[in-house]
Amino acid sequence: MKTFINQLRFKFAILLLMVAAISSCKKEDDVPTDPARIFKPSDVKITAGETSAKLTWTVPLMSTGKTFKYSIDFSTDSLFATVNYTTTADTAGVTVTEENLAVRTKYYARVKANATESQPESKYIRSSAFQLTGIQLFAAIRDNEIKENNITLRYTPTVGLTSIVLTPESGTATTITLSTTDASAGLKAITGLTAGTKYTAELFAGTKSKGIATFTTLAPTTYTVKLNPGDDLAAAIASATNGAIIGLNPGTYTLSATTFITQKTITIKSTSGNPTDTKINYREIDLEGTGAGVTLSGIEFDGTASASLYFLNFIGTQAANGAAATFTNVVVDNCIAHGSVTSFLRGDRGTAARDFKITGITVNNSIVYDMGLNGASAYYTFHLNKMQFNTLTISKSTFYNAGPGLVTASTTYTGDVIPTVAITNSTFNGFGGNAKYALLDANANPINFTILNSIFANTPKSGTVNAAAIRGTGAGSTLKISNSNYFNLFSALTGGTSLTFGTATLASNQSINTGWTATTTDFTIAVGSPLRSAGSNGGPIGDPRWTY
C-alpha cells in the first residue's frame, strides 16, 4: 500500500511539472520576442486638409522607459519603390505641407522606430492613401464664357498669383503668365485654344498650386450661312434645309410675323455666343409638323414690339393645328427670352392626347421673364397637356414673372414612357396665378419630377394659386425637392396659406428669405449666405450666374 501511495505521489508530481512547463511555454509564446515587432509603431492615422496633413501613430508596445526617434517616408507608390519625401520625428506625430508634398496627388506614408543603443530598428507600418486637396481660388466657369477657341477664367483676386498652366487632354501644357493687374482683377481671358478639346487649368503662385479647373471648349461650328443685321432672317429660316445652322453676327434682327420651322430641325446661333449683343425681335416661332425642331443659342429674343402671344408654339400644320406630329428636340441655350403675353412654350394643340410627341425639351443657362400676363394667363410656362414628352430639363436658368404655373401635363393618357421633369440649379421668382398649381400639374399621369439645388420665391404674382404647389397622383410617380430654398410661397397675395408640396419627398431644403419681392430682377446671393454652400455638392444653389 505504501508503495502504491508513493507511486501515486510521484505521478502527481510529474503531472504538476508538466502543467508548469506548458504554462511557461504558453506565456512565452504570448510575448513577442522579435525586436522589430516589439518596438513597431501601430495605428497610423492621417488627417489631410488643403495644404497640410497630420500623421499620427501609437507608440510601440514596449516603449515604457524608452525614448524613440521615428523615420517617416512618403511615396506616391504603395510599395515605396521611390520615396518622394522623408523626415524624422521624436514624438508620435508629424505634419507635412505643400512645401513637402504636391497637392492633389495621392500619397502613402510609412513609419518605423529607429534603432537605439539596445534595440534594432522596428518594422515599417504603412498608412492608407491620402492627399492634400489644395487651395481652390478658381470660381465656377461661366457657361457663356466658354467659346470654341477662347475662355475667360475667373478666380479670387490675390496678390502673388503668377501663372495659369493649361493642359489639353492630349498635348503639351502651355503657361500663361499673370501680371499683377491680372492677379488683382480676378480674371484672365485666354485665346488660341482648340475647339472641342478638354483642358485642365491650374492656377499658381510661384510653384504653389492655388486652384484647378477643367473645361471643354465648344465643338467647332460650321455655319450654313452667316447673316448681318439688315439681312432677311425670315427668308433664311424659310429656305434652310434640315440640319442647317444659321449664324447671326452681332446686331438686331426682326421676325415681325409668325415664323414657321416646317418639318425640319435647324439651329439659330449668335456667332459671338453673347445674347447681350445679338437680338431678335420676334412675334412667334412655330414648330410645324413631324421632324420640326430647333436649337436657339446665344441670342436675346424680345416679343414686346410684335405683341407676341407665344415664344415657342407647336402645331401639326398651318391648315390644321391639331394634326398629329412627332417633333424633334427643342433646345434653348444661353438665351434671354421675354415679352410673350400668353406662354413661353405651348404644346397642347394636338387634337387628341399623344397626337403631339417629342423626345426632349431643354432650357439651359438662360433667362426667361415677362411671360404670361403677370401670372394671369390661362397657360403655364411649359404648357404640355396632351403632348407626350420624354424629358423636360431646366438647368442654370432664371425665370421671373413667367406664367401662372411652371409645368402642366394634366390631360390623362397612357404614354410610351413616364416623362421626366428635371429642374437643377435654377431660380424662380414672382410667378403663379389664375388658381393654377404653382410648380406642377400632372394630375393622374405618372411623372418623375425633381427639383434640385434651386430657389423658388414669391407666389402668386397675381390672383391666387392652388394651395398645393404640386399635383401628381399617378401610380409610379417620383416627386422630390432637395437641397433647395423656398420662401413667400402663398396661395393668395393677401390672406393666403403657405403652399404645400403634396406627396413630394423633401430633403435638405431651407426657407431663407433673401429679401426678394415679386418684382425683384436681381437675384444675387449675398456673400456669406448659407445658400452659397447649400447645394448637394457643397456649392451654391439657384442659377449660378447670381453667385459669380
State pLDDT tens for residues 138-189: 998 988 899 999 999 999 999 999 999 999 999 899 999 999 999 999 999 9
pLDDT at 118: 76
186 and 284 share one domain? no
68 band by pLDDT with thresholds 50, 70 and 90: confident
pLDDT at 27: 39
102 and 212 share one domain? no
13 band by pLDDT with thresholds 50, 70 and 90: low
Average pLDDT of the segment spanning 408-434: 96
Question: Is the pLDDT score of 19 beyond 50?
Answer: no
CATH number, domain of 162, equals 2.60.40.10
Boundary (domain end) residue, out of 172, 195, 216: 216
pLDDT at 7: 54
36 band by pLDDT with thresholds 50, 70 and 90: low
Average pLDDT of the segment spanning 54-72: 83
Question: Is the pLDDT score of 18 beyond 90?
Answer: no
pLDDT at 5: 47
Boundary (domain end) residue, out of 216, 237, 256: 216
Domain extent at residue 443: 225-547
pLDDT at 468: 98
Cell of 232: 432677311
371 and 518 share one domain? yes
282 band by pLDDT with thresholds 50, 70 and 90: very high
What is the dihedral sign for C-alpha 433, 435, 437, 443?
A: negative
Question: Is the pLDDT score of 256 beyond 90?
Answer: yes
**Contact at 8 Å (CB) between 77 and 96?**
no
Question: Is the pLDDT score of 95 beyond 80?
Answer: yes
**Domain total for the chain?**
3
With respect to residue 84, please indicate whether it lies within any of the assigned structural domains.
yes
111 and 189 share one domain? no
Average pLDDT of the segment spanning 39-49: 88
Q: Nearest Cα to 450, choosing from 429, 466, 467, 426? A: 426
Beta strands in 123-243 (DSSP E): 125-126, 151-154, 163-168, 174-177, 187-190, 198-205, 208-216, 225-227
Average pLDDT of the segment spanning 44-55: 95
167 and 280 share one domain? no
438 and 470 share one domain? yes
List of residues 6+ apart from 420 with CB closer than 8 A: 390, 391, 392, 447, 448, 449, 450
331 and 236 share one domain? yes
> Residues of the chain with pLDDT > 70: what percent?
92
Question: Is the pLDDT score of 116 beyond 90?
Answer: no
State pLDDT tens for residues 306-326: 999 999 999 999 999 999 999
Cell of 414: 397612357
499 and 525 share one domain? yes
**Contact at 8 Å (CB) between 113 and 67?**
no
Q: Phi and psi of 498, rounded to 5°?
A: -65, 140
pLDDT at 400: 98
pLDDT at 65: 64
30 band by pLDDT with thresholds 50, 70 and 90: very low
State pLDDT tens for residues 365-420: 999 999 999 999 999 999 999 999 999 999 999 999 999 999 999 999 998 999 99
Boundary (domain end) residue, out of 197, 216, 235: 216
pLDDT at 64: 66
With respect to residue 29, please indicate whether it lies within any of the assigned structural domains.
no
Average pLDDT of the segment spanning 474-490: 97
32 band by pLDDT with thresholds 50, 70 and 90: very low
**Contact at 8 Å (CB) between 245 and 224?**
yes
With respect to residue 488, please indicate whether it lies within any of the assigned structural domains.
yes
> Residues of the chain with pLDDT > 90: what percent?
86
**Contact at 8 Å (CB) between 429 and 490?**
no
With respect to residue 196, please indicate whether it lies within any of the assigned structural domains.
yes
247 and 363 share one domain? yes
**Contact at 8 Å (CB) between 374 and 459?**
no
Residue type, 236: A
Question: Is the pLDDT score of 446 beyond 90?
Answer: yes
pLDDT at 24: 45
Question: Is the pLDDT score of 28 beyond 80?
Answer: no
Contacts 24+ apart (CB under 8 A), 151-155: 151/189, 151/190, 151/193, 151/215, 151/217, 152/187, 152/188, 152/189, 152/190, 153/187, 153/188, 153/190, 153/201, 153/213, 154/186, 154/187, 154/548, 155/186, 155/187, 155/188, 155/203, 155/210, 155/211
CATH number, domain of 465, equals 2.160.20
261 and 282 share one domain? yes
This model's pTM is above 0.95: no
Question: Is the pLDDT score of 272 beyond 90?
Answer: yes
Question: Is the pLDDT score of 61 beyond 90?
Answer: no
Question: Is the pLDDT score of 16 beyond 70?
Answer: no
Distance CA 57, CA 129 (A): 15
Average pLDDT of the segment spanning 520-534: 96
29 band by pLDDT with thresholds 50, 70 and 90: very low
319 and 250 share one domain? yes
With respect to residue 324, please indicate whether it lies within any of the assigned structural domains.
yes
Distance CA 367, CA 336 (A): 5
490 and 395 share one domain? yes
Q: Which residues on adjacent β-strands are paired with residue 294?
A: 266, 330
With respect to residue 121, please indicate whether it lies within any of the assigned structural domains.
yes
With respect to residue 1, please indicate whether it lies within any of the assigned structural domains.
no
With respect to residue 436, please indicate whether it lies within any of the assigned structural domains.
yes
pLDDT at 11: 55
Tell me what the pLDDT averaged over the chain comes to.
Answer: 92
Q: Nearest Cα to 281, choosing from 261, 260, 262, 253? A: 253
